[in-house]
Structure 1
């Protein structure tokens, strides 16, 4: 029994999977954080473009 417990604690078969899960969670977290920053800038730019296009006058006569 003591051998089984020590073998269980020393086994590193699934350790790489845990590393990849933590790495993937970090990448997803960084993607969400950067998406929040980009969305704010995009909304500001969209408002500026809308205001500029709305203020333009179209001349239909020559």
Structure 2
């Protein structure tokens, strides 16, 4: 992972970017909850897509 946030700002779309910097925040005893928002959104979206796919397969 690039240690500079300015190098590739488009990486902020992916959850691994936020997890990486969230772990850095934990390491330095700084607030990290803001970094959990994007992974939570991705997780919710994936679960929703899986449920809708499963319902289509069932009927």
TM-score, normalised relative to structure 1: 0.44
TM-score, normalised relative to structure 2: 0.46
Higher relative contact order (CA 8 A, sep 6+): 2
